[in-house]
Chain A
Amino acid sequence: MSDEEGILFLIKEDDSGRSFALLSFALVVGLAFHAYTFNITKANDIANKYALDTYSIDFEHYDVQGSDSILIASGETDVLQLSRDIMGVEEGSLMAQIAFDISYSESSGQIGDPCDEVHVSIAPNGMVADWQNEDNVLSDSNDNCDPMTLLVYVYPEYVGESSEVVGSSANYWNDLWTNETYGSGTIELEISVETNEGPTSFATGGDDNEEITVQWTVSFFEVEITTLPL
């Protein structure tokens, strides 16, 4: 290979390799600066840039309670309605669950008059709620004057315990836990009564209605999303 065919010829020709040396020097100094910056000064920032953030999700609970007494004639069905408006809570309140405690006693005053048969149920519509939740108790009935409890889980996945989640963004988690559509609308509790006649009812007059007491407890929550330090 002649001198003119080699790369050294190109480097040395005309300027004795000064431009090559100058550029090499600039490149080495520049890349040393870059290496120091990338691997030392900003190493943690760069490593953490794509690390998934961890968020703490904390809940604060509060309950709103109320009660109603309804006199229901035998063979009749009455409906108790409940909504944010009826409860008098703010429109955007985050609703976790609704519990109805239904109680009654034999109120005819007749000796030996047995408890009436009471059937309670909640229609799975009217309010946006977690109707598919297997822990919902949507109907019950008895004829022994024992109290009954119906339960509807409104906000899906809500268990009320603080948790830590990894990934996505604070906005994502905030949106997930502040969906105000859950709990919107009106829930309806249907109560039916079938009176049971006592042995002396023919003498004292018939047992033709029952007073049902419904105590409702609606759980609300507030959520706080905090980004935990890496």
Chain B
Amino acid sequence: MAVDGLLAVGGILSLALGASGLILTRNQKQEVIWNKRFAAQILCWIFICKGIANGVRSVGYEGESWRFVLYTGHFTDQVFAGAIMLLALIFPVPLLRTKKQFKIGALLVLTYTLISIGAAIFISVNTPLAGLADGYIVCGFIWASVYLKFRFMSNYEDHKEVQGVSDVAILLLIMVTGHILFRWVGFLTRSDYFYFMDVYGGNMTSDYLWSMGLAAAAIFGIVILFGEIYQVIQGNVRGTSYVIFTYMTIGIVSHIVLAGTGLSGSGGGTDAGAGYTKWQSIWTEITSSVHFTMMRPIFGLYILFHYGLVKISEDNEQVGKTMAIVLIVVATSALLEIIQSLIPLTEMLSAGILGIAIAFGIGWEERSFQSLISNPLRFPIRVKGLYFPELDFEKSAYFTLDKGMAILIGFVVLMAFILELSSADPFTMNSW
């Protein structure tokens, strides 16, 4: 299966998660603490942004409407980066600790995003100003700090709620930067496959800022890796320890596979680069591309349900189940497509396997869905309540966020359409 196909599947998964997640947050009857409620909404909008970006990019840049593809992908990525930044500022630990701080923070992020979008329109998509919203450094730093503080909190090494905060910080970091963690060794060994990853060319400052974000993600991954190795030595293994070990181990194997390769394609290193062998292309597809397109929504689903960002009751259980089934079925079929591209299965055989997988998947979904929603992990408000200030937001505040995000995404898609009609040159405004 071509990476374009994966992007399309990833787009569908992300859109499905984002849209159904928004419905769930709107319909939930149970009270959810303010930062979790906002985080749920932002997380859903993040996936809607990624769904649109991956969806349009799956069409490719060869068609007549390549400008629309490029601009829509670029703009929604910028909204994605801004939303990720806002998420990091309030979840899992709110850095914006009063309503006033929250409003100012949200406005600053919005301004930041609009400036970078404006720079992409009026200067070029590869101007350093258009890349300001790159959130890897800011978000990674916040989540890695939260991880260190809560994972190594004295006298709370076995406290489920305290350790849960560090877990969600790791999961968020992996969700956003997992495909970069697959290349962390290249950062240290100065390999081309890391330092040439998605550099635009033509503007060294832009390329440097972009690459710096990737390097920051690798650094945070390394810090967490050493932190978890220390915890394993101390006998404090957690589920998330295995997740980070898996990602970082794949990073070591990736170095063996990709060493000696150079230029990487678009999409945060998810695409195979020029001169890649078939094996290297396959490896990139089954690691970075799969994370980028399919694992992100799965991580998102887990965070939404397991940490109580969305609370499921009888009223919204059906929507939650549908959401999980859609994710599982689409992800399973996409994985089968990848397997089909590696092993020459006939379509009839793969359809049969898909049917069996769905049958098992639905059964698994029933069980895991119940366990996921039945006991959502609480945050340590009773023992470490100072970290989690209680703020009282009107319902209208949550609706305003939804409206604002919908308008922003609609606006950037419309702008991309206008730029397409105007035959704008994405790399310089001088010629349009």
Chain B hits for A45, CB < 8 A: 192, 195-196
Taken residue by residue from 130 to 161, chain B's Cβ proximity to chain A (1 for < 8 Å, 0 otherwise) reads as: 00000001000100110011001110000000
The smallest beta-carbon distance between B178 and chain A, in angstroms, is: 18
**In the complex, B329 has a CB within 8 A of chain A:** no
Taken residue by residue from 405 to 416, chain B's Cβ proximity to chain A (1 for < 8 Å, 0 otherwise) reads as: 000000000000
The smallest beta-carbon distance between A220 and chain B, in angstroms, is: 34
**In the complex, A227 has a CB within 8 A of chain B:** no
Supposing A4-B389, A7-B95, A49-B196 touch, asked if A15 and B263 sit within 8 A by C-beta, the answer is no
The smallest beta-carbon distance between B155 and chain A, in angstroms, is: 10
Q: Are A19 and B145 in contact (CB under 8 A)?
A: yes
- CB contacts under 8 Å to B, within A27-49, are 27, 30-31, 34-35, 37-39, 41-43, 45-47, 49
The smallest beta-carbon distance between A155 and chain B, in angstroms, is: 29
**In the complex, A203 has a CB within 8 A of chain B:** no
- CB contacts under 8 Å to A, within B309-366, are none
Q: Are A5 and B387 in contact (CB under 8 A)?
A: no
**In the complex, B370 has a CB within 8 A of chain A:** no
- Name the contact of B141 in the complex, choosing from A6, A10, A23, A46 (C-beta under 8 A): A23
Q: Are B219 and A31 in contact (CB under 8 A)?
A: yes
**In the complex, A22 has a CB within 8 A of chain B:** yes
Interface size on B, residues (CB 8 A): 40
Taken residue by residue from 82 to 124, chain B's Cβ proximity to chain A (1 for < 8 Å, 0 otherwise) reads as: 0000000000010101100100000000000000000000000
- Name the contact of A20 in the complex, choosing from B145, B153, B211 (C-beta under 8 A): B145
In the bound assembly, the distance between CA atoms of A81 and B211 in angstroms comes to 64
Q: Are A37 and B223 in contact (CB under 8 A)?
A: no
The smallest beta-carbon distance between A34 and chain B, in angstroms, is: 4
Chain B hits for A101, CB < 8 A: none
Q: Are B223 and A31 in contact (CB under 8 A)?
A: no
- Name the contact of B211 in the complex, choosing from A7, A10, A22, A34 (C-beta under 8 A): A34
Which single residue of chain A is at the shortest CB-CB distance from B262? A49
**In the complex, A202 has a CB within 8 A of chain B:** no
**In the complex, A172 has a CB within 8 A of chain B:** no
Supposing A19-B148, A34-B215, A37-B195 touch, asked if A50 and B201 sit within 8 A by C-beta, the answer is yes
- Name the contact of B97 in the complex, choosing from A5, A14, A23, A31 (C-beta under 8 A): A5
The smallest beta-carbon distance between A129 and chain B, in angstroms, is: 32
Supposing A27-B216, A38-B195, A50-B202 touch, asked if A13 and B387 sit within 8 A by C-beta, the answer is yes
The smallest beta-carbon distance between A110 and chain B, in angstroms, is: 72
**In the complex, A26 has a CB within 8 A of chain B:** yes
Taken residue by residue from 36 to 80, chain A's Cβ proximity to chain B (1 for < 8 Å, 0 otherwise) reads as: 011101110111011000000000000000000000000000000
Q: Are A31 and B145 in contact (CB under 8 A)?
A: no
**In the complex, B167 has a CB within 8 A of chain A:** no
In the bound assembly, the distance between CA atoms of A43 and B204 in angstroms comes to 9
Q: Are A27 and B219 in contact (CB under 8 A)?
A: yes
Chain A hits for B262, CB < 8 A: 49
The smallest beta-carbon distance between A22 and chain B, in angstroms, is: 7
- CB contacts under 8 Å to B, within A132-159, are none
**In the complex, B207 has a CB within 8 A of chain A:** yes
In the bound assembly, the distance between CA atoms of A5 and B262 in angstroms comes to 48
The smallest beta-carbon distance between A134 and chain B, in angstroms, is: 33
Supposing A5-B97, A31-B215, A38-B211 touch, asked if A10 and B223 sit within 8 A by C-beta, the answer is no
The size class of the interface chain A forms with chain B is: 20 to 34
Chain B hits for A27, CB < 8 A: 137, 141, 216, 219-220
**In the complex, B233 has a CB within 8 A of chain A:** no
Which single residue of chain A is at the shortest CB-CB distance from B190? A37
Supposing A4-B386, A31-B212, A31-B216 touch, asked if A23 and B204 sit within 8 A by C-beta, the answer is no
Supposing A23-B144, A27-B141, A30-B216 touch, asked if A46 and B223 sit within 8 A by C-beta, the answer is no
Which single residue of chain A is at the shortest CB-CB distance from B151? A19
Chain B hits for A6, CB < 8 A: 97
Taken residue by residue from 179 to 190, chain A's Cβ proximity to chain B (1 for < 8 Å, 0 otherwise) reads as: 000000000000
**In the complex, B34 has a CB within 8 A of chain A:** no
In the bound assembly, the distance between CA atoms of A137 and B156 in angstroms comes to 94
Supposing A39-B208, A49-B262 touch, asked if A22 and B187 sit within 8 A by C-beta, the answer is no
- CB contacts under 8 Å to A, within B190-208, are 190, 192, 195-196, 199-202, 204, 207-208
- Name the contact of A23 in the complex, choosing from B145, B187, B212, B389 (C-beta under 8 A): B145
Chain A hits for B95, CB < 8 A: 7, 10
Chain B hits for A46, CB < 8 A: 195-196, 199, 204, 207
In the bound assembly, the distance between CA atoms of A1 and B144 in angstroms comes to 26
The smallest beta-carbon distance between B382 and chain A, in angstroms, is: 16
- Name the contact of A19 in the complex, choosing from B98, B101, B149 (C-beta under 8 A): B149
In the bound assembly, the distance between CA atoms of A46 and B263 in angstroms comes to 9
Chain B hits for A47, CB < 8 A: 204
Partner-B contacts on A (CB < 8 A): 1, 4-7, 9-10, 13-15, 19-20, 22-23, 26-27, 30-31, 34-35, 37-39, 41-43, 45-47, 49-50
User: What are 20 pairs between A and B in contact, CB < 8 Å?
Assistant: A6-B97, A7-B95, A10-B387, A14-B153, A15-B149, A15-B152, A19-B145, A19-B149, A20-B149, A26-B222, A26-B223, A27-B137, A27-B219, A31-B212, A37-B195, A39-B204, A45-B196, A46-B196, A46-B199, A50-B200
- Name 19 extra pairs, CB < 8 A, besides A5-B98, A23-B144, A46-B199: A4-B389, A10-B95, A13-B149, A14-B149, A19-B148, A23-B141, A23-B145, A23-B148, A23-B220, A27-B220, A34-B187, A34-B212, A35-B208, A35-B212, A39-B204, A45-B196, A46-B204, A47-B204, A50-B201
Closest 10 A-B residue pairs measured CB to CB? A50-B201, A19-B148, A30-B219, A34-B215, A19-B149, A5-B97, A37-B190, A26-B223, A42-B195, A23-B145
